[in-house]
A and B are shown apart, each in its own frame.
Chain A
Amino acid sequence: MLLSLMIFIPLLGMVAVLLLPRESEELIKRATLLFTLIPLALAVYLFIAYDRSTAGTQYVVNVPWIEAFNIQYHIGIDGLSVTLLLLTALLGPICVIASWRNIEKGIKAYMALFLLLETGMLGFFAALDLFLFYVFFELTLLPMYFLIGVWGGPRREYAAIKFFLYTLFGSVLMLVAMIAVYLNSGDPGARTFDIPTLIALASTAGHALNDLNFQIWVFLGFFIGFAVKVPIFPFHTWLPDAHVEAPTAISVILAGILLKMGTYGLVRINMAMFPQGLDHFTNGVGFWGNSLALLGFINIVYGSFCALAQTDFKKLVAYSSIGHMGFVILGLAARNDSGITGAILQMFNHGVISAMLFLLVGVLYDRAHHREINGFGGLGSRMPIYTGITTLAFMASLGLPGLSGFVGEALSLLGAYDKFKMLTILSTIGIVVGAAYFLWTLQRVFLGTLNPKYEELPEINGREILTLVPLGILTIVLGVWPNFAIDMFRESVTNLIDVLNAI
């Protein structure tokens, strides 16, 4: 019930916002903030109240929905989802605050769409029915399309439709795979979309879902769907465009949550449901046995080098996201304790850190109205606080120990080395290049003599700091005390590994 409340309160908020008159902008903003703060409060409560000692799903709601297809409204949380729910709920209000001043037109529609988006994201992470999962997955598409397309930058139309088509392309393949799973889950009438049931069936010897060939194909279907979202090379080109054009808060959501939907899906569906399919792509034998790790490696190195080549601040951060998601893929491919835990941590951490980075880019853009890295210089003496926070975020992102980015990256690599020695060693190039582009950016923007154009640039203001502080604190806390997050999903990961080892 609590969970349902959390998911649908933003939807309720959307209705409420739509009913408010268009002129009362302050009211609309406050209402939106309220409707995003409530889920945050609930998420924090769930995070605290969640029983960490078990791998089972909790706060389960399971009611029939479309009986003809045995579709249920089945939601619940395990350690992984509660963590990501917290992240989603946290970024909600932060993004509302970040949008407070810089959305000039159509604030009502913006906020309404944002709330719809939040419902989609929250629902996605809580769904335990494959169909529901898919519906929530797609539910985020439309608001995102509008949020980029209407409130975005100069090439927003291109970016928005690109995002939309890419994701849709991936998700139709996922739809085919999903239907195939459904059809093979039993005799007519006994078929199900229930994820836990399907997981159990898929590991039952002799069941149609347990067939290796079937699992490979279905794995691929789901994988492409999620790969577009992650994004995994070569499905990534929508990401830089979308990021560059999207308004700040939407970039934050895009990088912070939407990318996580892809990796979450990989864990929840691809790994848990198709262990044999996963095995085929990660057993380290031959090309296919290394393919997933190879993709992770390509993502890391490719994303990092692309980031190095960028001169647009936001594009740089966008490409860095591609690189960082590569660590998630690599960690997942390792499918051992440290690999998976590292990947999940990296998901969460990347959500926090990239959110910070995009917020920071937004702060600068709001002041200077451009993002050309070479166009700045010496801001460190003009905006010390901003510089400090940016340095923190950069350092966290380039994997400095003591900050959260390190733990995920290190665990992923440690886990991956166990299986994919050469690829992991090559992936460490990403660590160096990652440091290179962040430091180079730091130098070009903040160090050196102050560009005379920006002598009057105002320092970051209180509202902006407010959006960054919680994320900064999380970055430090998780870097110092990773068990804080790992406690939540340790059992779930153990459980998952048991499933993977059972084949």
Chain B
Amino acid sequence: MQPLSNIESLLYFSPEILLVIFAAAVIILDLVVKDRESVAVAYLSLVGCLCTFAAVLFTHFSFGDEGPVSLFLGMIRLDVFSSFFKVLLLLATAATILFSLRSEELDARLKGEYYALLLAITFGMFLMASSTNLLMIFISLETVSLTSYILAGFLTHSPRSSEAAFKYITYGAVASGTMLFGLSLLFGMAGTGDLAQISGRLTELLAAGEIAPLAVLIAITFVLAGVGYKIASVPFHMWSPDVYEGAPIPITAFLSVASKSAGFALFIRFFYAGFGSTELMQAVDWPFMLAIVSALTMTVGNLAALPQQNVKRLLAYSSIAHGGYLLMGGVLLTSQGVGAILFYLVVYLFMNLGAFYVVVLIANEVGSEMVEGYRGLSSRAPLVAWAMVIFLVSLAGIPPFAGFFGKWILFTAVLEQGYYWLALVGLLNSVVSLYYYARIVKAMFFEDAGEETTNVSFSTGTFALLSVFVIPTIFIGFINIFYTFSNISVSVIPMQ
């Protein structure tokens, strides 16, 4: 199907447009509403998410039979893959907005900008999930990055937050600069910015001996630096613990889930569409490179998480480790592998956001992000404590929670491709990971709070939101529909 022209595309670009409109509306509303304590902007953002969701569904189903379609002359692509990620990202955004509502960290005066930026970052991520052109890829990446820098440093009077933003932007700028250099090499070799064509051109040129494999290797590695920075994979992960620790908790949650998801969307599309041909892989064995990166990532993430005392930082390392697990699926070049990543991302969304929500709640009530702060939680707030247990155990990948099913299909996919060592590394890592998750559980259940034994009470809304994360964490694994994600990947995996 021919790419649609710019004007034709606008209709199908409606989700993104809606996001921009609502971002602007939020700022305007913020100007209008005088009451600083008002939560109107937050609800407006939520409405924005809802409308965007409707638009995503609309655009998706209006192409139900006609298959994927390219918009804006091939700049972005509308397919089931991007729709999937859009829904996922919207869920994460909505959850973050709700967290932010409850978080007491944020400066009430800057709410308008805050929510507008959230919507803007979502917009950027939408583009990341659907770009098919080097230019679009770079622009979307930068959009997301720039807004993230600001959001990470949003606590203007917190040195930690500022430091986080500083490190984030320095790191991000270098990483994306490196990536851009890699992109320029790719562009130069292939003579086109279109991902789908790059693959074919590179294959031809390699076959003809007109370009050296080393050049392709350099280009791929440079690109990996950018993508790796986004998904926080070793050795491009070092920003994330500091940023996650310094940033406001809702933003940490958002970055660890949404940013990572969008990063994986980009990663899958880029590597599968751009370098997915067999000949290319013979010249540069990037899947193996990814396998090593994946093994390193989970190992480093888990090991470094072991001695952490700050729960946020601990979860940061945990999310690095999960990035490693997810990367395993990316190594495989199979629809099962991609399906496993998508499934795991869904599961990860719920369990990780849930865990961060508990962190928000505890930070509000106890004023601590440290493990000690969780002592005796089982008696002070049993429901929250149990919810946290479910999230953590699910993160550790223990049945019957969704995290197990996520790991299960990932490992199945990995083993199916014969990567036994990788699966074994992953599984042993999940044993290690249990240890630090259990430390939080231990603090909550096996230790006493000391003299302050006041019960912490939470509102019904809190529990309702908590259950939004708990219930899927328990039940996703038992529902058949979630195992069909490997079908989604068809649109990104080149026919072989």
Contact = CB atoms under 8 A, between A and B. Distances in A.
B404 A176 contact: no
Contacts of A172: 427-428, 430-431
B431 A165 contact: yes
B363 interface: no
Interface stretch (A149-157, A194-202, A287-295, A319-327): A149-157
Interface stretch (B124-132, B218-226, B434-442): B434-442
B457 to A, nearest CB: 15
A234 B484 CA distance: 42
Contact of B438 (A135, A156, A161): A161
B78 interface: no
B438 A180 contact: no
B377 to A, nearest CB: 12
Contacts of A106: 378-379
B21 interface: no
A139 B400 contact: yes
A68 B431 contact: no
Interface in A108-163: 109, 134-135, 138-139, 141-142, 145-146, 149-150, 156-157, 160-161
B330 to A, nearest CB: 19
Contacts of B480: 66-68
A454 interface: no
A165 to B, nearest CB: 6
Contact of B427 (A68, A138, A149, A176): A176
B434 A149 contact: no
B430 A149 contact: no
A100 interface: no
B393 A157 contact: no
Interface in A161-177: 161, 164-165, 168-169, 172-173, 175-176
Contacts of B445: 146, 149-150
Interface in B419-437: 420, 423-424, 427-428, 430-431, 434-435
A383 interface: no
Nearest to B339: A68
B399 A168 contact: no
B24 to A, nearest CB: 43
A183 interface: yes
A68 B446 CA distance: 40
A149 B442 contact: yes
Interface in A56-81: 65-69
B416 interface: yes
B399 A138 contact: yes
Given A109-B382, A138-B398, A139-B399, A176 B411 contact: yes
A286 B53 CA distance: 66
A135 B427 contact: no
Interface of B: 378-379, 382, 393, 398-400, 404, 408-409, 411-412, 415-416, 420, 423-424, 427-428, 430-431, 434-435, 438, 441-442, 445-446, 478, 480, 483-484, 486
List the 8 shortest-distance A-B pairs measured between CB atoms, nearest first: A68-B483, A172-B427, A138-B399, A135-B399, A179-B415, A157-B446, A169-B431, A149-B446
6 contacts: A66-B480, A68-B486, A109-B382, A138-B404, A150-B378, A175-B427
